[in-house]
Structure 1
Amino acid sequence: MKKCMFVISFFVVSFSVTSQTKKKTTLIWDTSYSMIDKNISKEIHFLNTYFSKNPNTSVQLIKFSNEVILNESFDIKEGKWERLKNELFNSIYDGVSSFNNLLNVKGDEILFFTDGNESIDDFPAFFSNPVQIISSTGKAENSKLKKIAKLSNGQFIDLSNEQIVEVSNRVSLKGVVEDISGPLSNVTVISKQERVNTVTNEKGEYEITITKGDIVEFRYIGKNTLRVKALKSKTKNVLLTDGRGVLDEVTVVSERKEMVNTGNRLENKDKIGYSTQSIGEEDISHLDTDVKRAVKGKFSGLKIQNNTATDDVDLSQFLGRGNNMSILGNQYGLIVMDGIIISETDSGIGNSGNGSKGIISKTQFVDKTTHINPDNVKSITYLKGLAATNKYGTLGVNGVLLITTKTGSPDNGVNSKKKIKLGTTPTYNEDVVAISNNLPYMSKLIKAKNIDEAFNIYLDQRKLNKTNVDFFFNVATYFKNWGNEYLLKRILSNVLELVSKNDFSTLLALVYKYEENHLYSEAIVLYKRLVEYNPKVTQLYRNLAIAYKRNGQFKEAQNVYNNIDRNLYKKASDFSGLLKSINYEYKNLVALNKDSIQLNLVRPFFKDNITYKTRIVFEWNEFDAEFDLQIVNPQKRYFNWLHTEKDEKIRLENEKNHGYGLEEFFITSKDIGKWIFNISYLGKLTGNNNVPTYFRITVYHNFGKANQTKEEKIISLVDLNKKLNILTLDIK
């Protein structure tokens, strides 16, 4: 009881305002993967108390992980905040926390719910407005968050050890669930408001504690769902009847599947996992002379400005995620009609089409929407947050309006042969990546008929693979085949939430996956972090230079090479084990990018280019990994390179001490024919051999020539003493 009084008294001092005051509060909600185990009940009760003390509040909700997912306004009146509460309950926790987009948030007060986990960038040093930083995970960066809150005239509140629920507002239901045959086990008992749930035991018994007035549902396959309103603590025995309806204690409600448009498909609203809003033809008035009028005021969080004296505002200029998060970027949403993108307006700076920068462009239309006849509209669906980005990637970050006409409705997923315009809805190309069918979660994913279904399968399988790094690597590659880079990046970034900054090997494997998928900006950010935490590891500097080059940052790559050459990285260990490879790569940079670097800063040695028919580079993330690499030439002769402590003791010691795991091979123009590379993985000298070692294989064709090309793949090795073919080359 003492803890309860502490929290309540804190609210009175810090949050109390008069009922006439219209307070502006910014609520920042961290939806990164590390927040999945937080105690949302405590956070909801925190907000219950907050809004009871501030009953009339204008709330700007910002949900974020890798980037801002949702930026929406909520008007709280007389302490009623159900719509905001439902939005928080429906949050999907996925991806890594990126704080860069949160530096300029404003409000009379900021409520920031986070654990402060810094994986790719730093938490803001302070806020210009008072901030209350709240965490319920028990894993927050407490000392740092306390300091930041204090500098921002606020307070850090750790709910993990506090009991803030007022007992008088809680009720407990318990009892036995049966059907006509007797007690039922594994019946799901779930509260609609808090989403607290339990299941009945083998005797059909259950017990659940929830907020007074909440609705409890009893669900079981093949039985009617029963709803009970919890008004007081009591014993409630339940009898479930056969059927597929939804019953409460007074009224029978027949089951009806509400179908919504998710982009070229009609889906069961209960199965898509997203919050969607739709209107039908019955919601469109004959007074709506254009589609903009039909939409205006119908969707929460969607804003359409009024016409001005000089310009008519088109529907394509709708604001779907707030208009204060991006000054330079486009803020307007996307419009898709019958599966085809028909309109996308750019509000960004420097998009005037005349090449000038820093000038706000005039409105740029792909196609206006004034030609759409409201009488021909069958339905309009508004997607926002993950519902929009999972379907349309970065095109959907500002929200998507899906317009279905009576003459071109979306399909229901059965025998449809309608062609979709390339670049709108991603389609899965099964030939791109060979899926490992022996992995149960991949077998389920490849059966998905659309990206929404695939995403929900991913969320379901993630529960069984919470800490499995390989799971996120494989699933991210799967979503790449849907053509959705947004999902690819977010799913990969979950690994940053799983491991600590000291887990060097896993982070190095992650950065290899970033590069394999051409996510070079993300790779550079992570390499910089790794260098900061592991300044002695020489391979990081070499890899950073390559990432800069691949990202088109040639001068930055040159600077890294020059610093290595001049021995300016004083904290780094000995580069001698890598120097041959680094010299080849610097010469390659100079030869192929003369116009993009500062030639006057290049020593003559590096201006002497080297060319090869094929260059093959093997890298491994565990520097003490042992393996047997077998190379078979076109004449079927082979040799084995034994990378073991027994055969290469000094080399393995150097690799471990100086921080590198790399070897390269060259094939000349005389060595035409089929080359085969097999590997037998022998494990690690230290560490857990149940954790995979990752090999990166990079093949350069025509190395050092103008027509140089590159192919790359990552191999996961965990089975010991098993010979695997990891590369086959046909040199012509």
Structure 2
Amino acid sequence: MSIFHIMKFCPLPRGFALLAVFLLILTPIARAQIALNPTDPKAERVLIRSADISTEITGRFAVTTFDLVFANPNGRDLEGTFEFPLLDGQRVVRFALDINGALREAVPVEKEKGRVVFEEIERRQVDPGLLEQTAGNNYRARIFPIPANGTRRIVIAYQEDLMTASTAANKAPRYRLALNFPNELRTFNLTASVFAAPGAKPAQASTSLALKLPAWSDGHVLQVKKENFTARGVLDLKLPAISTSARPAVITETFNGREYFYAEAALPATALKANARPEPKCVGILWDASGSGRDRNHKREFALLDAWFAAVRNVEVKLVCLRNTAAAPITFKVRRGKWSELRAALEKTIYDGATSFDGLIDDASVDEWLLFSDGVVNFGTTQNLEKLPLRAPVHAVNASAKAAPAFLRRLAAQGGGEFADLMALDAKTATSRLRRISPRVLAVERDPEAVAQIFPEVGAPVNTENGTFVVTGILRQQSATVRVKIGSNENDAQAIEVAINSGENTGSLAARAWATTKINHLAAAPGDNREDIRRTSREFRIVTPDTSLIVLETLADYIRYDIEPPAELRDEWLKQRRATDAATNKNRKQQIDRIVTMLHERVQWWEKEFPKDKPIKRPPETKPIHPASEVVILGGSERQNTVRQEQSRRRERPAAAPRANDADGEIVAIERFMVSDARQAADLDRSGFEDGRRVDKPATGSFIALQRWSPSASYLDRLRRAPEAERFSIYLEERADHAREPGFYLDVAEYFFDEAKHTPTALQILSNLAELGLEDAALLRVLGHRLVQAGRPDLALPVFERVLKIRGEEPQSRRDLALVCAKLEQYQRTADLLWEIVSRKWDDRFPEIEMIALGELNAIVATHAGKLDLSKIDARLLKNMPVGLRVILTWDADNSDIDLWVDDPSGDRAMYSRPLTYQGGRMSRDFTGGYGPEEFLVRTPKAGKYTVRINYYGDSRQTALGPVTAQVRLITDFGTASEKEKLITVRLVDKKEELEIGSIVIGE
């Protein structure tokens, strides 16, 4: 089946707009057109000029390779992003791009590093390519550029286990390749090579493509070449049945100095007669009712339930819907297989919120559980659970192309249940699987000096439906024997004996078959096996959740980023790499020394006594603190430097800019302000507002007033008018028109938090942000910050853990996680994360963020003395400098320019061009291309009112994913035990000069 389903291109002016290309896997039943539709209606359609598709099949394994040439008729370069899910048993094993007219193979790299390198190189306008796995078994390839009026060649290959993907329970594997190209191809080549045991009959080929298939060449090669051909149809190969002879079929391969073997053996007849499960008296159904649940194939799920209830007949059912938290169970009675009442309830399911196992509790009356889910758990405190908290066996059922089958299989195996993939099994076959107890691997007997690393390992379930059993391993001697015992227990155990001889039936699939089998096995518990999975995936160039494939243009780039290149560049890379090692060690020391120097300058400021009288009036400044001549040295591409120079030029104006709300009395650029005290409940007392402001009076003799604004949105007007019982229904109505808008969920969740006073509903609606993008760090950051506001740092913690995994190359990811850990009193981890920020060299887009993190690190150390291990921290950097007032601004969008301004009681303004005020207020370095933070500090604040403003210049993002969301923290007595904090979240739409968001009054 094809990995190409839907593609979309848009023109990319050099350094500006983002091209998106989306590819989806075709199901075994249906196929969809490969459409290349530009998002810009004025752009010409990007075409596929040629397609060379090849398939190599050995036994039950197949590798399919797509070699495509894209033609860009537009006068602008394009960037491409391919997104495609693969089915269970399929893995990407090759990625290559043409570089200067020659095909260059991708090399493995850790996922975080791959993303960092790709985006850095892309900013320099050269030719990187990156293929990575997102959530579940979903993949994304990013390519830049597809040249203006030119072509780009792309090669992607995936490997699959045909027996796993088989749609019928028989011993004959079947291979299907679905094609649906939208335009006529200049050249089309299709080759299928099937390697079978000696004497086996050739595969039977049929097709719905508009061509006549030739006879098999040499009995195992089928080749078609066409010109000016439109490829729309399916190639179907019925392969020779797996031999049931006593001797297992074995293939071998030597790879990187090791010899690997792959063996297929017929299962003993007794093993095929799996033990039937006792009929349950009570069954629990865990129904994933999250937003992504709408995309599951409910027709197949209901067909399975039809067959399953027909088999068990009379049973009590307890239905538990899973969203961001588990709902209370609902009981149904099924008699004589009739389940119409339960079906009606499932058909009325409201799919909303994220996917989580939070709140799931056991029920002693349940004999079996059926879990219907895609397995992509994206919310809650139980995302990394090893086993569901249920006593009875758990069967996992998948009916989604965008799923995490390895996770579902693990849950089933560890819960004593079965896994049924309805994307590959019909209802009858799936029911048969769920109603029996699969045998397990009980023992593996071998000479460890002759063979090593054999899979499957002891305890692995054995799929008996296709009648075969696979054993893989590493051969160390000329010959060896492996004896595998399978069964439900020692009493019914049966042995399979495999004899392996060096050089037997050599081919090109044994090594990779071993590697994928190992990775699939280890993926059952990825936390414990992550490093082993990474090592294996890097060696065999297999994409996993932690390993990507990358193509770089020049040897210098492979050296600069310490990535081992393809074979043709490796010798020179090794030679030049030795010279860089010494420089790397020197740079680490220089980083710490640089921070020590900066800290010394900070101490001088902190120890200085500043006057608190009225400042002398100064003429307005016209020169920015970072003039254009200095901006260029910040790094980045020519495109980014141009943007920064333009920003600097725009700032060459009087510092006392007119206020945006002075002219018309309103701030139209703010969609929403959300207020929360991290130490108090989410509900707010309306009696605390004075003149439209929320007033809180801490015990320290100061109070904070925060502006509160509501967006102008018709859906909020409807909610406010509606009776309480109808509000959620109105939200669902409006969701149909705003389903992909993050701001919609933020607005409505905030309404249920603050106005409707219904926190459970607000949390469910807010959790939809986790469903909008599998790996959208910006959305997840917004979600995490809002959960903190709601007083749920426990829910925010796994969100920021995910952001760190996605965007580990950005210091903000560690800082966000560190601050949440502090709220959860995980102070050691807080300190460790902050020290990572201080001690590493970051991209120039994040100027002096180390100093902000260092201040927060010293505050943690000072307030938790004696409880922390500080052995990793350079003692020269341990100095707490508490301040009476601290204001911090951060935002969620990269390449955005937002400024923090603070006006003190004397009218003196701290800003990017005036970083030090008369009374000693200090503003941090200006961020013009990152996420912040920008920080204002004053050690001993003068009594009076401090007004906090945001100056939003806009952004140069390549994608416009919606309004920028900014967070402002207002802190008094920072670095002391009496610290107080308020958090404001602001969504910005229009580019305005100045936005007042709140104030702090110091003194009674």
- Which position in structure 1 is the counterpart of 2:486? none
Aligned match of 1:521: 794
Aligned mates of 1:75, 1:16 — CA distance in 2: 27
Shift of 1:132: 4.5
Distance 1:531 1:456, change over 3 A: same
Residue identity matched to 2:967: R
CA contact (8 A) 1:627 1:642 kept: no
Tell me how large the CA RMSD over aligned residues is: 4.4
Match in the other structure for 1:687: 958
**Partner amino acid, structure 2, of 1:140:** A
Is 1:53 the equivalent of 2:324? no
SS at match of 2:721: coil
Q: Does 1:77 align with 2:314?
A: no
What's the counterpart of residue 293 of structure 2?
35
Tell me the alpha carbon deviations over residues 474-533 of structure 1, each in whole angstroms, 9 at most, x when there is no partner.
2222222244433333222111111112x1122112212122222211122212222223
Match 1:158 to one of 422, 440, 454? 422
Match of 1:539 in 2: 812
Listed as ranges, the matches of 1:198-209 within 5 Å are: none
Q: Distance in 2 between matches of 1:631 and 1:3?
A: 62
Mapped partners of 2:949, 2:912: distance in 1 = 11
C-alpha distance 49-162 of structure 1, shift in aligned 2 (>3 A): closer
Q: What CA distance in whole angstroms lies between the structure 2 residues aligned with 1:103 and 1:572?
A: 46
1:702 aligned partner: 973
Deviation at 1:633, TM superposition (A): 4.1
Question: Aligned equivalents of 2:275 and 2:869: distance in 1?
Answer: 61
- Select the residue among 68, 82, 102 that pairs with 2:326: 68
CA gap of 1:717–1:553, structure 2 versus 1, over 3 A, is same
Query: Do residues 115 (structure 1) and 355 (structure 2) align?
Result: no
Amino acid at match of 1:517: A
Equivalent residue for 2:718? 444
In structure 2, the residue corresponding to 1:463 is in which secondary structure? helix
Change (3 A) 1:14 1:144: farther
User: Aligned runs of 1:449-460 on 2, under 5 Å?
Assistant: 449-450=723-724, 452-460=725-733
In structure 1, how many angstroms separate the alpha carbons of the residues matched to 2:899 and 2:842? 33
Residue number among 969, 979, 983 corresponding to 1:712 in the alignment: 983
Higher relative contact order (CA 8 A, sep 6+): 2
> Kindly tell me: are residues 440 and 96 of structure 1, through their superposed partners in 2, closer, same or farther at Cα, counting changes over 3 Å?
same
| 8 Å CA contact retained: 1:74, 1:84 | yes
Report the alpha carbon displacement of residue 94 of structure 1 after superposing the two structures with TM: 2.5
The answer as to whether partners of 2:947 and 2:998 remain within 8 angstroms in 1 is yes
SS state of the match for residue 778, structure 2? helix
Q: Is 2:933 aligned against 1:662?
A: yes
Cα distance in 2 for residues equivalent to 1:708 and 1:695: 22
Instruction: Choose which of 454, 469, 492 in structure 1 pairs with 2:742.
Output: 469
**Which residue pairs with 1:507 in the alignment?**
780
Tell me how far apart the structure 1 counterparts of residues 969 and 903 of structure 2 sit (CA, whole Å).
18
CA contact (8 A) 2:811 2:842 kept: no
* Residues 683 and 427 of structure 1: CA distance in aligned 2, closer, same or farther (over 3 Å): closer
Q: 2:768 aligns to what SS in structure 1? A: helix
**May I ask how many residue pairs the two structures share in their alignment?**
453
Q: Distance in 2 between matches of 1:52 and 1:710?
A: 60
> CA 1:134 to 1:555, structure 2 compared with 1: closer, same or farther past 3 Å?
same
Offset of residue 652 of structure 1: 5.6
Distance in structure 1 (CA, Å) of the matches to 2:847 and 2:927 = 14
Offset from partner CA, 1:191-230 (integer Å, 9 cap, x none):
xxxxxxxxxxxxxxxxxxxxxxxxxxxxxxxxxxxxxxxx
Aligned to 1:625: 896
Q: Secondary structure at the match of 2:320?
A: strand
Cα deviation digits, residues 636-693 of structure 1 (max 9, x gap): 45465379xxxxxx9768x65xxx5211012354544443344343332223336111
After superposition, the Cα gap between the structure-2 partners of 1:15 and 1:7, relative to the gap in structure 1 and judged at 3 Å, is farther
How far 1:428 sits from its partner (Å)?
Answer: 8.6
Please state how far the C-alpha of 1:29 moved relative to its aligned partner: 0.6
Q: Tell me the distance in 1 between the aligned counterparts of 2:408 and 2:396.
A: 7
Matched-pair contact (CA < 8 Å) for 2:314–2:337: yes
Q: 1:443 to 1:606 in 2, by over 3 A?
A: farther
In 1, Cα distance between the equivalents of 2:371 and 2:866? Answer: 47
Residue 36 of structure 1 aligns to a residue whose secondary structure is helix
Structure 1 counterpart of 2:766, one-letter code: L
Deviation at 1:635, TM superposition (A): 4.0
Contact 2:326 2:357 in 1 (8 A): no
Alignment of 1:325-340 (within 5 A): none
Superposed, which structure 2 residues align to 1:524-603 within 5 Å?
A: 524-561=797-834, 567=839, 577-594=848-865, 597=868
The separation in 1 between residues aligned to 2:974 and 2:417, in whole angstroms, is 58
| C-alpha displacement of 1:75 | 3.4
Gaps of 5+ in 2: 1-27, 31-165, 171-271, 429-682, 695-706, 915-924
Instruction: Report the 3-state secondary structure (helix = DSSP H, G, I; strand = E; otherwise coil) of the residue aligned with 1:613.
Output: strand
8 Å CA contact 2:941, 2:1002 repeated in 1: no
Indicate how the Cα distance of structure 1 residues 683 and 449 shifts in structure 2: closer, same or farther if over 3 A, else same.
Answer: same
The aligned amino acid for 2:936 is: F
**TM-score with structure 1 setting the length:** 0.53
Higher Rg of the two aligned structures: 2
Could you say if the C-alpha distance between residues 678 and 576 of structure 1 is closer, same or farther in structure 2, counting changes exceeding 3 Å?
closer
* Pairwise CA distance, 1:589: 1.8
Report if aligned partners of 2:847, 2:926 keep a CA contact under 8 Å in 1. Answer: no
**2: CA distance, partners of 1:52 / 1:155:** 19
Residues 1:93 and 1:595: Cα distance change in structure 2 (over 3 Å): farther
Aligned to 1:324: none
In percent, how many aligned pairs have the same letter?
23
* Structure 2 residue corresponding to 1:141, chosen from 392, 404, 410: 404
The CA deviation at 1:588 is: 1.7
Q: Deviations over 1:600-625 (max 9, x none)?
A: 99876566432222111111112310
Match of 2:352 among 74, 77, 94: 94
Unaligned runs of 5+ in 1: 165-425, 644-649
Higher strand share: 2
Cα distance in 2 for residues equivalent to 1:133 and 1:114: 8
Aligned partners of 2:304 and 2:427 also within 8 Å: no
Q: For 2:427 and 2:308, how far apart are their aligned partners in 1? A: 15
1:367-406 maps to which residues of 2 (within 5 A)? none
Residue type matched to 1:95 in 2? G
Verify the 8 A CA contact 1:624 1:652 in the aligned structure 2.
Answer: no
Query: Contact 1:427/1:483 (CA < 8 Å) preserved in 2?
Result: no
Counterpart Cα distance in 1 of 2:371 and 2:396: 5
TM-score by length of 2: 0.40
Q: Is the 8 A contact 2:285 2:370 kept in 1?
A: yes
- Secondary structure of the residue aligned to 2:302 is helix
Q: Is the 8 A contact 2:307 2:427 kept in 1?
A: no
